[in-house]
Structure 1
């Protein structure tokens, strides 16, 4: 969709979004129009812990509240050669460690104590480093989404004291945004999680069916954070796959019928062949496994 550009320069990322008609209070119908537009553009996207480790038993995203994330760490025997990931994780603050654990939990629990070679690949495929963690700590999640979307649309620069990997920041911001939105919705539906498969729209305040404005605004941020993602890296593709799965749950639809979900997973699996995406699909969506493999290998023929 061509957008006429004004000769006047807008002074801030938020004001720039006004030009695109995105930074406005919208109804759910507009939100899902944005979702469909994003799907149209996705195909043409422009371009450690000493002796600690992250436990891989975060099998249910429902158990990933920040309050108990610390309990997911446990002592383990150190490998003969110290892992770079362990050194990296050890260097993080407790808040940053929580963000990394949450990221793994939201992205299908697939990143667990990678080898040195695997960790280097992950860093090149959208895994956040300390600069991105620091940036999200200093800026609100909704504002970061607008910054990233501006960057994607017009290559609008991000102001940061340290070099930022944009792909990694997109992934981290998406995860942070989902976590914040779940908190907002939990004010009206206790302990709400997108993964529960329950659509809360039938009842909000005192049995009413009108969605609170805070929830609408939060959902806008979710749309922006997903739209800001590219398909350049494996972790961004995992984030987009998670978004598709979440939207299927939100709409009370069967995620196994969401073709875009499996398309993103199949491409991500080729960029990150060592993190077990095949096993995830085979376990959770066994009826879709054959079709998923066809998607994965159709471009290799």
Structure 2
């Protein structure tokens, strides 16, 4: 990969004094742990609020100071937990997203909400549920007509320029600090560059690398690359990384788990990558953080890079 537009920050510790999980990375104008935490799975702990709060405290203890959330995660449940568990002195950068809204009575737990007025309303809802006056970074999740269990009808296909104008206005008003984009193509990013984009979130893994040119463009412009489904998923076209025989062989040779190898490869692939793996299990959380200490030697990297991705 090419070098980033400017050097990555090197601050080794979080505000709580813990070494940054995975080392230090850049998210807009902030230094954060390269291994963050994605809050989407917290809804699985709806019957164990105390356990969910303890998990979030463990996130901080492990040196994670970058949490990714959304109001549509558990119909506000994740945001509510974050507001209660994360303290100002923890120095955690909380990132949210707009472009969808909870739909607990619908066929899916969320529905697209792409129009500028809907984006603004969702920012306001996130501010309230997170207990913040300003969200450090908000990602605009663009609608797609198919994929990942949610499809947009014609009424939710909105011009990107109109959406970006609203996001800029929200930034100018101080309601959000920076703008990110999610589920986009290369042309979308190029159109958005003049606005100032802090990160891009797309589905991407060792086995699903169709966005390689998008990754390179982010690297050149100093934009954080934040892949979701970093280990694949059950959705078509997103094979599970830990099931690939080469990944399993490398894991055995290095004394790591296949999942840790998949995460470590992402961190090695480009210095601008930040990870937000989610879990509702503390031991799984600790294993994800440990992936930041896995060193892939030249032989392991060559074997992983050579995997045919179709």
Question: Do they fold alike, i.e. is TM over 0.5?
Answer: no
Larger Rg: 1
What is the TM-score when the length of structure 2 is the normalising length? 0.26
What is the TM-score when the length of structure 1 is the normalising length? 0.26
> Which has the larger strand fraction?
2
> Which has the larger helix fraction?
1
